[in-house]
Structure 1
Amino acid sequence: MIIGLTGGIGSGKTTVAKIFSKFQNTTVYYADIEAKKLMITSNVIKENMINEFGENTYINGQLNTTHIADIVFNDKEKLKTLNEIVHPEVYKHLTQFVEKNKNKDYILYENAILFENKSDSFCDKIITVTAPIDIRINRVIERDKVSSKSVKTRIQNQWNNDLKIMQSNYVIKNKKLKDTEKQVFKIHNILTNQL
């Protein structure tokens, strides 16, 4: 069973995924982390990225994230192009991961843009993580050391939370860690009781 886990930037998807990862016989695929690794290791991605975004895309073999962010978060077409370059390779990698872990009770597939890139189509169930907008903005400012304006631009490039919630099986409200943990345990119990 593949369980999609999504939510807007700063909602706390990774925190929620880490709580899920503590359960026995489950595993987590972090799409953002794997995508970043593939952007450095996959020759197919590298070649397409340089063709599309220029020679400054990589510095000493490392992805120049500031250069990419400046381009894609100010141009929806460029963001779409970036996803079209990276997503097929991530999907291949995910397919291998699923095959390797098919004995697990379920695989949690953490992906910030699960709906945006239509990855929801291969999930059995979907969980959306939400948090108040001010908390989300403050979390990202603290985590990424960026301006409030920069965070708001990123939020505008993602689907509205209401749209995500409407297409989800479960919603986790992530404000206080203790409450979040209770919600995760409840969902885990529901998922494993269905097996």
Structure 2
Amino acid sequence: MIVGLTGGIGSGKTTVAKLFSNYANVAIYIADVEAKKLINSSTSIKQQITKLFGANAYKKNILDRKYIGQLVFNSKAKLQALNKIVHPAVKEHFANFVQSNKNKDYILYESAILFESNSIEKLDFIINIYVDLEERIQRVMVRDSVEKKEVLARINNQWKEDKILLLSNYLIINSSIENTKDQVRKIHNILTKKALHFL
């Protein structure tokens, strides 16, 4: 059983994924972390990205995320071109991860762009994390040391919150850590029971 975990930028996906990782019967796949590893280790991906964005795309064999970010977040065409390189590689990597974690009750696939990348087709359930927009903006400004306009540019490249809510099976309102822990525990218990029907 595969469960998607998503939420807008600054909603606390990493925190919620860590809470789920406390349960031994769950395997966690963080798409963004794995994508970063592939971007910096795959020769094929490096060649394609360099061809697309030029020699400045990498510094000492590591992707210059700030440079690429400035280019893609202001151009949907460039963002789509980048995604066409990275998404298939992540998809293949995740398929191998699923095979090697068949013993788990369910696999949690965490991605900020779950819907945008068409990752939902193989998911059995979707969990969405909700945080008020202004709070999310403030969190990202502090976390990434960026201005509000940069955060808004990123948000504008993600699906609208109401659209995601309509397509989600479970909702976590990430307002306080204790409250979030409680919501994670309840959803985990439900999913563990549902996993029995997927055997």
Residue equivalent to 1:164: 164
1:24-39 paired onto structure 2 within 5 Å: 24-39=24-39
* Secondary structure class of the residue paired with 1:162: helix
Distance 1:58 1:121 in 2: 32
Residue equivalent to 2:105: 105
Following superposition, which runs of at least 4 residues in structure 1 exceed 4 angstroms of deviation? Answer: none
Shift of 1:138: 1.3
**Residue-by-residue CA offset, 1:95-123 (whole Å, 9 max, x unaligned):** 11110001101110001000001001111
Residue equivalent to 2:8: 8
**Residue-by-residue CA offset, 1:12-68 (whole Å, 9 max, x unaligned):** 111110000001111100000000110000111111101111110001111100110
Question: Which range moves more in the overlay, 112-121 or 137-146?
Answer: 137-146
Shift of 1:142: 1.5
**Residue-by-residue CA offset, 1:112-155 (whole Å, 9 max, x unaligned):** 00000100111110001110011111111111111111111100
Shift of 1:79: 0.7
Residue equivalent to 2:181: 181
* Secondary structure class of the residue paired with 2:128: strand
Shift of 1:91: 0.6
Structure 2: segments with no counterpart, 5+ residues: none
Shift of 1:183: 0.8
Give me the TM-score of the superposition, normalised by structure 1.
0.98
**What is the root-mean-square deviation of aligned Cα atoms in Å?**
0.7
Residue equivalent to 1:151: 151
Give me the TM-score of the superposition, normalised by structure 2.
0.96
> How many residues align structurally?
195
**Residue-by-residue CA offset, 1:60-97 (whole Å, 9 max, x unaligned):** 11110011000000001111111111000001110111
* Secondary structure class of the residue paired with 1:164: helix
1:76-155 paired onto structure 2 within 5 Å: 76-155=76-155
Distance 1:57 1:72 in 2: 12
Shift of 1:177: 1.0
**Aligned partner letter, 2:47:** E
Residue equivalent to 1:40: 40
Distance 1:50 1:158 in 2: 25
**Aligned sequence identity (%):** 53
Distance 1:73 1:51 in 2: 18
